[in-house]
Structure formats: structure tokens, C-alpha cells
């Protein structure tokens, strides 16, 4: 870079260099901070996320109109099958015993029944709720 810099731009180049140095410094600090976060057991982070999500769920669900409580159940049923993510990881793992593969296969299939079934039945229900006249 520096070879091609013409004299007019020299101060700019110096500033740039300074900037990149401080960026590197910041990155190093972030690494340390990241390390601390990794050092913390996942349980604490998970629990934080869990409790906050419970509050979000509480407030969002109270706003659901009672007329749509059945579709709510269909939708929550579909999204709770997001455990398929865990099952896919287990099924796709390279070094795995046959038994754990069978378990993971069944889990993926069962969760898929729910994902497709849950979303479709919810869609069917919601398409019936119409205002007429």
C-alpha cells in the first residue's frame, strides 16, 4: 500500500495506519471478552435467554385474541418442533453409532410430521376466519 501513496496523501496514510492499529487492538480486546463469555458455562447464558423468552412469550400470548386460541395451539405445536434442528445435527454427524442414527432418524421424521402438520392445520384454520358482508 505505502509504496503507491503520493506525498499529498501521506497524512491520510498515517491516519489510516493508526486506525488499523487501533482496530487490531479493539479486536484483541474483543477476543478477550469473547473468551470470558466462552468461559462462562452455557447454563448461565441459556438461563438468561430462557427467562427473557418466557417474559416475551407471556406478553405476546396474552395479546392473542381468544377467538384464535385454536390456531395459537396449532402454531405453537409447529414451532415447538424446531427441535428438528437438534435431530438433524445428530443425524448428520459424521462419526456416530448406528443406534444414535436410528434415534435421530426417528426424531427428524416425527418432528417433520409436526412441522408440516402443525403449519398446514393452522393455515387451514386461519383461512376460515373471514369477515363477511
Partner 1 sequence: MENFAALVYLAAAVLFILALRGLSHPESARQGLLLGMTGMGIAILTTLMLPTVSGWFLIIPAVAIGGGIGTYIANKIEMTSLPQLMAAFHSLVGLAAVFVAAAAFYNPQAFGIGTPDDIHLSSLIEMSLGLAIGAVTFTGSLIAWGKLQGKISGKPVVFGGQHVLNAALGALLLVLIVLLCITESGVFFWSIALVALALGVLMIIPIGGADMPVIVSMLNSYSGWAAAGIGFTLHNNLLIITGALVGASGAILSYIMCKGMNRSFFNVILGGFGGEQAAGGPSMEGRSAKIGAAEDAAYIMKNASSVIIVPGYGMAVAQAQHALREMGDILKKHGVDVKYAIHPVAGRMPGHMNVLLAEANVSYDEVFEMENINRDFAQADVAYVIGANDITNPAAKNDSSSPIYGMPVLDVEKAKTVLFVKRSMGSGYAGIDNPLFYADNTMMLLGDAKKMTENIIKAFE
How many residues of this chain interact with partner 1, rule: CB under 8 A? 85
Instruction: Tell me: does residue 35 bind partner 1 (CB under 8 A).
Output: no
Q: Which of residues 12, 17, 40, 50 is near partner 1 by CB under 8 A?
A: 50
Q: How far apart are CA 31 and CA 37, in angstroms?
A: 10
Q: How far apart are CA 107 and CA 82, in angstroms?
A: 11
Q: In the bound complex, what is the minimum distance in angstroms from residue 3's beta carbon to partner 1?
A: 36
Q: In the bound complex, what is the minimum distance in angstroms from residue 128's beta carbon to partner 1?
A: 4
Q: Which residues contact 91 (CB under 8 A, 6 or more apart)?
A: 101, 104, 105, 107, 108
Which residues, numbered 72-91, are part of the site for partner 1 (CB under 8 A)?
Answer: 72-91
Amino acid at each position: 500500500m505505502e509504496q503507491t501513496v503520493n506525498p499529498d496523501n501521506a497524512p491520510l496514510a498515517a491516519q489510516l495506519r493508526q486506525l488499523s492499529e487501533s482496530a487490531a487492538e479493539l479486536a484483541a480486546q474483543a477476543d478477550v471478552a469473547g473468551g470470558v463469555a466462552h468461559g462462562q458455562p452455557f447454563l448461565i447464558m441459556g438461563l438468561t435467554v430462557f427467562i427473557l423468552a418466557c417474559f416475551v412469550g407471556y406478553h405476546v400470548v396474552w395479546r392473542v385474541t381468544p377467538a384464535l386460541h385454536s390456531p395459537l395451539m396449532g402454531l405453537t405445536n409447529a414451532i415447538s418442533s424446531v427441535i428438528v434442528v437438534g435431530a438433524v445435527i445428530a443425524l448428520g454427524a459424521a462419526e456416530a453409532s448406528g443406534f444414535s442414527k436410528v434415534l435421530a432418524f426417528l426424531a427428524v421424521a416425527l418432528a417433520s410430521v409436526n412441522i408440516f402438520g402443525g403449519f398446514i392445520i393452522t393455515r387451514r384454520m386461519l383461512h376460515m376466519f373471514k369477515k363477511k358482508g
